[in-house]
A and B are shown apart, each in its own frame.
Chain A
Amino acid sequence: MAVRCRGITKSFPAGAGVVEVLHGIDFDVPAGELTMLVGPSGCGKTTLISIIAGFLGTTTGEVETCGRPITRMSDGEKVAFRRSNIGFIFQQYNLLPALNAAENAAVPLVAAGMPMVRAAGAAAGVLERIGMGAHLDKLPNQLSGGQQQRVAIARALVHAPRLIVCDEPTAALDAESGRSVLEILKDAALAPDRAVIIVTHDSRIYCFADRIAAMEDGRIRTVRTAPFAHLSEVA
């Protein structure tokens, strides 16, 4: 199992009291599958993946990410754990504007201590695999939104993480680019020992999921596995 969540609650201070945004969540993400986390805004999706990625702690409950109890790690251990085990794809791509495509994709390797020249070489290989070989030297502002997201995918894959966390990866893309990004993600990112979690509102891409967990009001309402008879039901 790539991710195992048991009895997670999460509260935030609000004025004099606290607001609980996750209410006892049990949630599993199997390795080798693409799992989507869907639900209306404010239902707790982002809070849940922030806990899974180690950005937030839980109020109660335990989370194992890639077999490690991330909720019990120190901040420093979480940072090191993320560096080796998790790849991220963000809605706004978050590419560094001063770095070209190969250098951007190489950032996780550089962060792990690899010299930039070697890291960029390794990243170029990943970019070529996902059809970006002709754009290695281009800066983010010279790429389309879809191309930027592909660079972000390369960045998420370059250090061979065991979990890839995607936050609304198609929200800023048109339908065709979004579909293309998901195809690449499903082809390149999924592996028997690697899981992908995608938080999304975009019902157009539900068909790429192996498993869809629907959240509402801080709870997992349903978990369905492919094939999906009626995608609209999930939404």
Chain B
Amino acid sequence: MNGIALKILLGDRAKYIGLIFGIAFSTMLMSNQISIFTGLMLRTAHQILDAREADIWVMDPRVEYVDEIEPMTDTQLGRVRGVEGVDWAVPFFKGLTVAHTRDGILQQVILLGVDDATLTGVTPRLVLGSVENLKLPDAMIIDRAGFQFMWPGEEPGLGKEMELNDHRAVIVGISDASAPFTTYPVVYTKYSSARDYVGRMRKQMSFVLVHGRSGVDTHVLAQRINAETGLKALTWRDFMLATIGYYVRRTGIPVNFGITVALGFIVGAAVVGQTFYIFVIENLRQFGALKAMGVANGTILRMVLLQAMVVAGIGYAIGIGLCAAFFEITSRASSNLRGFELPWQVAAGTACAVLVIIVVASLASLRKVMVVDPAIVFRG
């Protein structure tokens, strides 16, 4: 009877296309918006994600997320290094400053200062140059999108100069750093240079990046650092979640995206539910005839569910394909849109939402089919 169910479905071309469109639209809207939302949220934690050699981030206890800097004195670094289980600990500077080029372009940049000796914290994804070049005088590494901000229309290249707070800086590397929440250029330099660029102060160290000894549990080590130094110590994952959580709690971003996603779900459920309901109601007499001829309720239930699943499967495939294509095209169109992609978790979550939509849409129709009196066929 499955073949008959599919022929009934395909026979009503207009509703079949309408159902697929409804599911595809809903899938596209939900997966697209959730992906952009997750992309935005991951952007808030881009520095944490790019400095993955560090197991633990140590900061002033008042810091709630990565963009909130409460500078510490450099002596705190020594205290952290003294905690049992710490393999290495290095300073990390994070701040904003203004850069300008010889062409007169003025641009605020995210300045990241990494340990002079080890250069720990620089993104390993370099497009041009090498991380080691950062040890050269006045050296800096800028991200590709940032380069295009500073020198629009030029191919990324090394040796370009710009000024940071009246200090000369030379580009020795082009990185593919994760996109930041704001679209400012991301500039890596040595910790000592970063302090010069923003002006030396007594407290300037933003974070201490820590790597634990082999075999030491990072959560336990973080608690130990916290207990022994009074500083806040979080594993990179906890710090990333805390940063994302801050933006989720303190901004209207989730509400905006949540509304759109909810609309996608509701509109999808309404369009698909209504169309599927009408489709089933219009075929009610046929289902009644099948029941009269001895087709069991269970078989008819499977027929309707098969129709629903086929529509859901095709609609989902089209919708998720469109979403993936959208991110592929937009990421190529502008480097500012890099990092927005369709995570598999979103694709899987959307599939579950579509399943819920189609089940909800089928339920009302199924009830009608289950209770239809086969004697309906005797009514002219």
Q: Does A49 count as interface, using CB distance less than 8 angstroms?
A: yes
Query: Range of interface residues on chain B?
Result: 20 to 34
Q: B299 — which chain A residues lie within 8 A by C-beta?
A: 111
Stretch at the interface among A87-95, A142-150, A182-190: A87-95
Bound Cα distance A82, B289 (Å): 12
Q: Is B294 in contact with A79, judged by CB distance below 8 angstroms?
A: yes
**Digit string of B287-316 for contact with A (CB within 8 Å is 1, else 0)?**
011111111110100000000000000000
**Digit string of B10-24 for contact with A (CB within 8 Å is 1, else 0)?**
111000000000000
Residue of A nearest to B285 (CB): A94
**Digit string of A50-89 for contact with B (CB within 8 Å is 1, else 0)?**
1001011000000000000000000010011111101010
Q: B368 — which chain A residues lie within 8 A by C-beta?
A: none
Bound Cα distance A91, B378 (Å): 7
Residue of B nearest to A89 (CB): B377
Q: A168 — which chain B residues lie within 8 A by C-beta?
A: 380
Q: Does B374 count as interface, using CB distance less than 8 angstroms?
A: yes
CB-contact partner of B290 in A53, A56, A80, A107, under 8 A: A107
Distance to closest chain B CB from A22 (angstroms): 14
Q: A98 — which chain B residues lie within 8 A by C-beta?
A: 7-8, 10-12
Bound Cα distance A120, B178 (Å): 62
Q: Is A107 in contact with B296, judged by CB distance below 8 angstroms?
A: no
CB-contact partner of A55 in B286, B290, B374, under 8 A: B374
Q: Does A99 count as interface, using CB distance less than 8 angstroms?
A: yes
Q: Does A167 count as interface, using CB distance less than 8 angstroms?
A: yes
Bound Cα distance A220, B294 (Å): 28
Q: Is B380 in contact with A96, judged by CB distance below 8 angstroms?
A: no
Q: Is B7 in contact with A88, judged by CB distance below 8 angstroms?
A: no
Q: Is B4 in contact with A80, judged by CB distance below 8 angstroms?
A: no
Q: A110 — which chain B residues lie within 8 A by C-beta?
A: 1, 3-4
Q: Does A42 count as interface, using CB distance less than 8 angstroms?
A: no
Q: A55 — which chain B residues lie within 8 A by C-beta?
A: 292, 373-375, 378
Interface residues of B (CB under 8 A from A): 1, 3-4, 7-8, 10-12, 285-286, 288-297, 299, 373-375, 377-380
Cross-chain pairs A/B with CB under 8 angstroms, 12 sampled: A46-B375, A79-B296, A81-B294, A83-B293, A83-B294, A88-B293, A94-B377, A107-B293, A108-B294, A111-B1, A111-B290, A111-B293
For the complex with contacts A46-B375, A82-B294, 4 further pairs of A-B residues with Cβ separation under 8 Å are A49-B378, A94-B377, A96-B8, A167-B378
